[in-house]
Structure 1
Amino acid sequence: MDVKIKKPENAQQNLAKTGVDGLDDILAGGLTPNRLYLVDGNPGSGKTTVALHFLMEGAALGETTLYVTLAETAEELKAVADNHGWDLDGIELLEIIPGSDALSSDEQITMFHPSEVELGEATKNILAAVERLKPTRVVIDSLSELRLLSQHSLRYRRQILALKRFFMGRECTVLLLDDRTADATDRQPYSIAHGVVTLEQFAPDYGPERRRLLVSKYRGSSFRGGYHDFVIRQGGVQVFPRLVAGEYPMRSQRDVVPSGVSELDSLLGGGLALGTSTLITGPAGAGKSSLAMQYVLAACNRNERAAVILFDESIATTCDRMSGMGRPLNEVRKKGLLSLQQVDPAELSPGQLVHSLREKVERDGAKLVVLDSLNGYMHAMPGEGFLTVQLHELTTYLGQRGVTTILVTTQMGFIGSAMQSPVDATYLADCVVLLRYFEDQGRVRKAVSVVKKRTGHHEDTIRELIISSNGIHVGPPLSDFRGVLTGVPEWRGTRKGQER
């Protein structure tokens, strides 16, 4: 079940759906019918797959559809469809490509330039097929062939204008595909088309290629601007529209979200607030994930659904760790109250991750979301600057949906003032929980404190955090120590049998 994204207002009715749900959402419902559109992108970016989606959607509605191919053969198109498990029986395929006899010397001897003859024949065949079939949806693949046959830009522009005038009044929606093989300054179809959808494919320094699309033009209609991630899988194209948190109304409910550990709730002034975001930060092994999972189990015990996105450790490791604390996850997982998703940041685009979280919230009804950790989330982003912007949009959306969010981040280093965070998300979070190691009598101990909470009071004390086979325990304030947060505290009290 796909998440239904709230669409901008659009005055057009009876829109022509593209067959790709995410793209229809971006276009505020679909394409204005009886217009000419351009879908451009480098070879391999997915233009043919999107075009086949468009025609299959029309065929499913009982419309007459036509695919005009000037480069690929009908057999190649059917092979693409077979790989996706599609049936093209409802689509008329018109193949206009030179035959093998075009290689013979007799065929190349003519009074006219070959392109003049071929352009006229190609145009004649296209117009004849449209007149005969009277389709409501047409795809012409691709403009690069018409560009080559036209020889120069003036004739090419006239050819596109002639096609546009021909289709006007014929109640036909047309997609023109272009593979960007021409000079980058050649923008003839952009000015003529009613709308332009650009598909991009790029390879990061590590990991598989990624794809995104941009609607750069759509006359007289609203659409969601910016880049949107998409993937091509067996079965077709899936588009992940960019999240816009402002499209969702704010929920004013601010109930308390307890952890199940009374001392921890006291430290937080009663607990977390519903619909807020909390950042748990500290060095590796300090108990950040265990603390976050304590809130997850408390939510599940209240019969609320929770979702945990794991970047750094496997699901098996998480389950083993919680079992070692006397908090097994099997029961709540069997009840469907807990969703654990292990993510490889190299294989997942930001749009896919946001879409997955939205499904867990809007489809499954999750009330608590944990991202563990932001270090892994950062590696899924194209850059740290984009990370903070997308993270802000995500936490705002979750808050407005009444979802409590816990973000985990690991600081570099273990003790001392040199500890640093790979990304500063403290200003985004409504609450910040700080974990630290400190040394005492030859033992490494853990401390927990709350340094920020926007939605109410909290203790300013530093308490000891104890994680054992019996779960999580929070001790009394460490009032006899000074310098706990530095990792090397100074004892200020008196121990039994020892003078200060």
Structure 2
Amino acid sequence: MSFGVEGLDAMLSGGLLEKSICAIVGTYGTGKTSFALQFAYEGLCRGEKVIYISLEEREELLQATMAQKGWDMEAFDDRFYLLRLDPTDFNLAVSSIKSELPALIESTGASRVIIDPISLFEGLFEDEADRRQEMFRLIEVMRDEDCTLVLTSETSPANQYGSRYGLVEYLADTVVLLRYVRSRGLTEVYLVLEVVKMRRSPHSREIKPFEILQNEIMVYSEASLF
């Protein structure tokens, strides 16, 4: 399942495995949503059906972002399902993701599903044991669906290498970490990524720089960091 980002696909030995679960983990401004949208757009361009669930950005803002990239989303109206859930409405958000999402996947035949960011869903549970249990249940339900799932997650304030609640990286098959690196002279800031893990497939373990341009993401898989 190609991401549509040439350098990242190369690091993933061609892309994500079908019916696998990928977590894109990063702090603010590292491009988590950009990568998620690119994954969705690549699927649409390949004739697939895509469900994009936003727990943060409003639909019109995401649509404006896609339009700015020059993507003609009207051409995909019958195959792209963009939904926004209000994470402050606990019962609605939990019920929609746990109960209604599987039925939506089956009725639409979507092969790519994105939840952006899953960390807001995790944050609905104040008790750590409940959070762990509900996340495990969600992942188990999604493994029975005929789709590839991409989750975005904020990093932990105390650990730039881990997700906010330290769960998704253990539950996911593939983890892509996005972060900032400052040059030795502290004169520049680079965006870098690494494929932390990828079950059942060889992958690059190198840290590579990337840029988010107006209409594409460039991962420099052949470049050295410094």
Alignment TM-score, normalising by the size of structure 1: 0.42
Q: Tell me, yes or no, if structure 1 residue 446 matches structure 2 residue 204.
A: no
Task: Tell me what 2:74 maps to.
Answer: 330
Structure 1 residue 462 displacement after superposition: 1.3
Structure 1: how far apart are the matches of 2:189 and 2:68? 20
Is 2:6–2:218's contact at 8 Å kept on the other side of the alignment?
no
Asked if the contact 2:209/2:225 (under 8 Å) is kept, the reply is no
1:103-118 → structure 2 map (5 Å cutoff): none
1:422 aligns with 2:167: no
TM-score, normalising length from structure 2? 0.88
Residue 33 of structure 2 is aligned to residue 289 of structure 1? yes
Aligned match for 1:365, one of 105, 109, 130: 109
- Contact preservation (8 Å) 1:325, 1:467: no
> What's the offset of the Cα at 1:412?
4.3
AA aligned to 1:434 is L
Say which SS state the counterpart of residue 408 (structure 1) adopts: strand
2:174 aligned partner = 431
Of 331, 344, 357, the match for 2:86? 344
Post-superposition Cα deviations, 1:349-372, rounded to whole Å, max 9, x if no partner, equal 223322221122111111111111
CA distance in 1, matches of 2:170, 2:159: 20
Q: CA deviation at 1:375?
A: 2.1
Query: Which of 445, 460, 470 pairs up with 2:205?
Result: 460
**Per the alignment, in what secondary structure is the counterpart of residue 405 of structure 1?**
strand
For the Cα contact (< 8 Å) 1:259–1:294, is it kept in 2? yes
Return the offset for 1:328: 4.7
Shift of 1:340: 1.0
Tell whether the 8 Å contact from 1:319 to 1:328 is kept in structure 2 after alignment. no
Whether the 8 Å CA contact 2:5–2:217 is kept in 1: the answer is yes
> How far is the alpha carbon of 1:347 from its aligned partner?
1.6
Matches of 2:55 and 2:208 in 1, distance apart? 29
Give the distance between the partners of 2:132 and 2:48, measured in 1 at CA: 29
Q: Give, in angstroms, the shift of residue 470 of structure 1.
A: 2.6
Within 1, Cα distance between the matches of 2:132 and 2:195? 22
Secondary structure of 1:370's match? strand
**Does residue 1:259 correspond to 2:10, yes or no?**
no
Partner of 2:154: 410
Match of 1:398 in 2: 142
Instruction: Tell me which amino acid in the other structure corresponds to 1:437.
Output: Y
Deviations 1:315-343 (Å, cap 9, x if unpaired)?
111122223333353332x2x21111111
Q: Please tell me whether the aligned partners of residues 462 and 478 of structure 1 are also in contact (alpha carbons under 8 angstroms).
A: no
Residue 295 of structure 1: CA displacement? 1.0
Partners of 1:395 and 1:405 within 8 A in 2:
no
The one-letter amino acid paired with 2:204 is E
Q: 290-299 or 358-367: which moved more?
A: 358-367
Output the amino acid matched with 1:479.
S
Which residue is 2:216 aligned to?
Answer: 471
Q: Deviations over 1:411-441 (max 9, x none)?
A: 145xxx7436321121100000000112237
What is the Cα deviation at residue 388 of structure 1? 2.5
Task: For residue 454 of structure 1, report the CA deviation from its aligned partner.
Answer: 0.4
Amino acid aligned to 2:87: P
Structure 1 unaligned spans of 5+: 1-256, 482-500
Matches within 5 A, 1:14-413: 257-332=1-76, 334=77, 336-349=78-91, 350-381=94-125, 383-413=127-157
Aligned counterparts of 1:272 and 1:371: Cα–Cα separation in 2: 16
- Shift, 1:348, TM fit: 4.1
Unaligned 5+ segments in structure 2 are none
Q: How far apart are the structure 1 equivalents of 2:33 and 2:212?
A: 11
Change (3 A) 1:456 1:418: closer
Superposed CA offset, 1:133-192 (max 9, x none):
xxxxxxxxxxxxxxxxxxxxxxxxxxxxxxxxxxxxxxxxxxxxxxxxxxxxxxxxxxxx
Cα distance, 1:346 vs structure 2: 2.1
Aligned CA distance change for structure 1 residues 422 and 476 (closer, same or farther; 3 Å): closer
Cα drift, residue 444 of structure 1: 2.2
Percent of matched pairs sharing the same residue: 27
SS of match in other structure, 1:457: coil
SS in 2 for 1:455: coil
Q: Look up the SS of the partner of 2:42 in the other structure.
A: helix
